[in-house]
Structure 1
Amino acid sequence: MSTCESRLFQAAVMQSWNAIVITDADLTVGGRVEIANPAFCAMTGYTLEELKGQTLKRLQGPETDRAVIDELRICLQEGRFFEGTAINYRKDGTPYTVHWSITPVRDDEGKLTHFVSIQQDISEHVRADRENRLLARALDAASDPIIITDTAKRIIFANLAFANVTGYAVNEVIGMTPALFRSGEHDEKFYAELHTSLASGNDFRATFTNRRRDGSLYHAEQSISPICDDAGRISHYVSVSKDISERVDIEHALRQAATEDTLTGLHNRRHGEQLLKEAQRRAQVQGTPLALLVCDIDHFKQINDRFGHPAGDRVLRDIAHILRHSVRSRDKVMRWGGEEFLILLEDCPQAAAVELAERIRLRVAAHRDAQVGACTVSFGLALRKPGETTDALFARADAALYEAKRNGRNRLSLA
């Protein structure tokens, strides 16, 4: 990573509106704080100096849910993503409800080195107070991009921060309308709601995707308010915005990390469980068939033991690629754990599911890894029964998989 990129990521962390704390991966002492951004320090009441080298156990208290902490501990020990909600305590002893996610960080060799936790105080009163303070700062801070227009929407003022964000010189935008910055990302309904709100004397707040002078897009959290003269008539409009492109990019990356298996790029188990429940509900409402394929790489432990984990990871990626490119565009492929995969087939009768499983089985068998050679997979297939739960459906498919294993592997077994 270049120095410029490093500074950018550091700024993104330190300026993030979300609370971020980074600890080492030494779980023998609970993970010691190395970095905590200002938002985290503000949320907890501790200074960075007070947090550095300490564990976050100090935030726990009598109302902290022990089951959540136990689940957290297991996830950290296994190097897995964690997300949860619990009651923590500030330095002054006051409780607050926090929702947080923790992502393990590994070096180039795959060794676990740190944990990154992104946290949000979701206490109602604290959140409302924070939103009010943020709004006040946004309206008052001259460093935020600000433009003022007349009632014909012509820009009569733009500050330097606005020029810096958009790439336009101030004298280039004077006399123009904000349509100059339209990106094409918003539909006419969006702008109709904006005009209706302002014409009624109400504020309009939204996240805008705007276009800079060079054609690039940026995301702005924007508040537009009417200004009235002494007679109470609208005379101008003021727009105060904040460039949140970095935050949007980070949130997008975090959403992707929360739903995607990092090794294979497939849906991860947590997201897969949600997809399975949604598919089950659709099948129940629509009365369409729902098939579930459980796939397991044969003798995978021997591959890891004989050729090493890098070779095992390569085999996992290759087979995931075969699975993803063998199914229909609407089908969902998930890495369920280890060498086990799930394929969710909506509106798919048994014959078509069997044909797909056989096609995948043959493609995997035909694939050759330069180091490992040929691999095979076994399948268990189950079709949802009326009224059947997702857990019961998976249990039958999983039992069919083990039947295929017992019968010699490299085959499909039907539940």
Structure 2
Amino acid sequence: MTSQVLAVKPLPFPVDPAMISLALDQSFNAVLLTDANLGKDGQRIVYANPAFCQMTGYTQQELLGRTPRILQGPATNPDVIGQLRESLRAGTYFHGSTINYRKDGRPYTVEWNISTVRNAESEITHFISVQQDVSDLMAAQKSTQIFASVLNATEDGVVITNSRGIIEFANKGFEKITGYGLIDVLGRRPSMLSSGHHDAAFYEDMWGTLRQGNTFRSVFTNRSKNNALIHCDETITPLCNEAGEVTHYVSIFRDVTSHVLEASKLRDLVRYDSLTGALSRAAGELALQKAYMQSLGGKVPMSIAMADIDHFKQVNDKWGHSRGDTVLKAVSHSLIATLRANDSVIRWGGEEFLLIFSGCGLEQARPLAERCRDGVQRTTTDEVGQVTVSIGVAELQLGETVAQLIERADKALYAAKHAGRNQVQVSSETQAEYSA
């Protein structure tokens, strides 16, 4: 290390010694000047500024003529003191830190910068030490380390961003859940985890809540480093300074993927008929109500169809219920595969299925129903062979209820049965004729 030397040399401009003394006396940092005695007793203090006296609790009179060793104690690091003495003997600059003790016995952490003072002949005459009490800084660093250790001990993911949403910290729990380590995410935004499953309204609600200084909580569907979907129960809390300004956001989340998947399976068990894969009766009634309200609100057409498997009782009687179940599955799968994505297939009861044709009038619904009938007719099963269905179609009319619409479709179905089966019949009744 290059030696830093303070040499007493003539200056090219006049300097008032009183001004130098005044500057040292008013220095924020503690300044100590000792002689260059490297003997057994060590250096003696020849000057200590007010900042040094305030830091140590000693008056200048109590310090003058004494050795800086009076500041040392049980926790003073002997290795650091040894390095200090070696630097002084070598006449080189020294920088170090250890624990010293105030007059009242209280310890403090001091950071030194010690340089040599030389005369015109380059002889070391004094050592000047500029010191700073860094106890608060060390305590803050220790608190930060403890804080980080605590956060890393939890299995929950923790992310801290600044007010602009830039990640400044992520714990080990975050890495375990997402697969991303701290180095991967520092300087990036949490949106890097976005899966695309949340719409703009979701994020508008989130930011609206946070800007009001409130905590936002929701289940986020994120995407991990290995591209897997992860469901996280997450709370995001804004942190404010004394002026009420947001400085950071803290996000704490827990991986609830297994719970979400289990709940989804349970919902599917309730939503879908376990045998056929069509909507259950309860879920179907909700789908009917939704389509009905959309038709009324948007003034768009809505049609439904009732489909019934022909001669199904004979299938059960001749081949047994297991073959009957096979037929039900085959018919349901055919109907689902034939219809559009926004249409619905409901197992209405027994061998009967209700079809919802969203946004369709009769001119569109009838061809769809014919396609369904034809698709089933092309389906064959072991032993039973070809299966057919009869279908009745009806379009929602002005002022009609869902129950009335279903009844008209049911009448059309029975008309198809009576006309020879394996065909589509359309309800020709008007609302006025039906009400009459």
Q: Under a length normalisation based on structure 2, what TM-score does the superposition of the two structures give?
A: 0.55
Matched, 1:219 2:231: yes
1:146 aligns to what? 158
Matched, 1:370 2:382: yes
Distance in 2 between the 1:198 and 1:289 partners?
Answer: 42
Matched, 1:256 2:268: yes
Q: How does 1:19-30 map to 2 (within 5 A)?
A: none
1:124 aligns to what? none
Q: Residue 322 of structure 1: which of 334, 340, 343 is its match?
A: 334
SS of the residue corresponding to residue 154 of structure 2 reads coil
2:394 aligns to what? 382
Distance in 1 between the 2:371 and 2:187 partners?
Answer: 64
Deviations 1:213-272 (A, max 9, x none): 333331222212233456655444322111121222223223333222222222222122
Does the C-alpha gap of structure 1 residues 200 and 334 become closer, same or farther in structure 2, counting only changes over 3 Å?
Answer: closer
Structure 2: gaps spanning 5 or more residues:
1-150, 428-436
Distance in 2 between the 1:411 and 1:336 partners?
Answer: 19
Q: Residue 339 of structure 1: which of 329, 334, 351 is its match?
A: 351
Q: Residue 168 of structure 1: which of 172, 180, 200 is its match?
A: 180
Q: Residue 295 of structure 1: which of 295, 307, 313 is its match?
A: 307
Distance in 2 between the 1:147 and 1:262 partners?
Answer: 42
Does the C-alpha gap of structure 1 residues 280 and 183 become closer, same or farther in structure 2, counting only changes over 3 Å?
Answer: closer
Deviations 1:66-120 (A, max 9, x none): xxxxxxxxxxxxxxxxxxxxxxxxxxxxxxxxxxxxxxxxxxxxxxxxxxxxxxx
SS of the residue corresponding to residue 274 of structure 2 reads coil
1:163 counterpart letter in structure 2: E
Q: Residue 275 of structure 1: which of 283, 287, 300 is its match?
A: 287
1:342 counterpart letter in structure 2: L
Distance in 1 between the 2:340 and 2:165 partners?
Answer: 49
Does the C-alpha gap of structure 1 residues 293 and 151 become closer, same or farther in structure 2, counting only changes over 3 Å?
Answer: closer
- Asked whether the equivalents of residues 284 and 387 of structure 1 are also in contact (C-alpha less than 8 Å), the reply is no
1:85 aligns to what? none
Q: Identity of counterpart residues, as a percentage? A: 41
Aligned residue pairs total: 276
Distance in 1 between the 2:193 and 2:415 partners?
Answer: 62
Q: Residue 249 of structure 2: which of 225, 237, 248 is its match?
A: 237
- Asked whether the equivalents of residues 335 and 375 of structure 2 are also in contact (C-alpha less than 8 Å), the reply is no
CA RMSD of aligned residues (A): 3.2
Distance in 2 between the 1:291 and 1:188 partners?
Answer: 33
Does the C-alpha gap of structure 1 residues 222 and 394 become closer, same or farther in structure 2, counting only changes over 3 Å?
Answer: same
Deviations 1:149-178 (A, max 9, x none): 444545444333222112233455456543
Distance in 2 between the 1:357 and 1:196 partners?
Answer: 47
- Asked whether the equivalents of residues 155 and 176 of structure 1 are also in contact (C-alpha less than 8 Å), the reply is yes
SS of the residue corresponding to residue 251 of structure 1 reads helix
Deviations 1:252-311 (A, max 9, x none): 223333222222222222122122223333444555543332111112122122222232
Distance in 2 between the 1:176 and 1:328 partners?
Answer: 42
2:417 aligns to what? 405
1:5 aligns to what? none
Distance in 1 between the 2:201 and 2:295 partners?
Answer: 33
SS of the residue corresponding to residue 372 of structure 2 reads helix
SS of the residue corresponding to residue 338 of structure 2 reads coil
Task: Quote how far apart the aligned CAs of 1:341 are.
Answer: 0.8
1:223 counterpart letter in structure 2: T
- Asked whether the equivalents of residues 155 and 174 of structure 1 are also in contact (C-alpha less than 8 Å), the reply is yes
Structure 1: gaps spanning 5 or more residues:
1-138
1:202 aligns to what? 214
Distance in 2 between the 1:360 and 1:315 partners?
Answer: 15
- Asked whether the equivalents of residues 183 and 209 of structure 1 are also in contact (C-alpha less than 8 Å), the reply is yes
Task: Quote how far apart the aligned CAs of 1:192 are.
Answer: 6.0
Task: Quote how far apart the aligned CAs of 1:372 are.
Answer: 0.6
- Asked whether the equivalents of residues 293 and 380 of structure 1 are also in contact (C-alpha less than 8 Å), the reply is yes
Does the C-alpha gap of structure 1 residues 179 and 262 become closer, same or farther in structure 2, counting only changes over 3 Å?
Answer: same
Q: Residue 357 of structure 1: which of 353, 369, 383 is its match?
A: 369
Task: Quote how far apart the aligned CAs of 1:207 are.
Answer: 2.7
Does the C-alpha gap of structure 1 residues 158 and 337 become closer, same or farther in structure 2, counting only changes over 3 Å?
Answer: same
- Asked whether the equivalents of residues 334 and 379 of structure 2 are also in contact (C-alpha less than 8 Å), the reply is no
SS of the residue corresponding to residue 208 of structure 1 reads strand
SS of the residue corresponding to residue 213 of structure 1 reads coil
Q: Residue 360 of structure 2: which of 348, 353, 362 is its match?
A: 348
Q: Residue 277 of structure 2: which of 246, 250, 265 is its match?
A: 265
2:312 counterpart letter in structure 1: F
Distance in 2 between the 1:280 and 1:190 partners?
Answer: 27
SS of the residue corresponding to residue 325 of structure 1 reads helix
- Asked whether the equivalents of residues 158 and 251 of structure 2 are also in contact (C-alpha less than 8 Å), the reply is yes
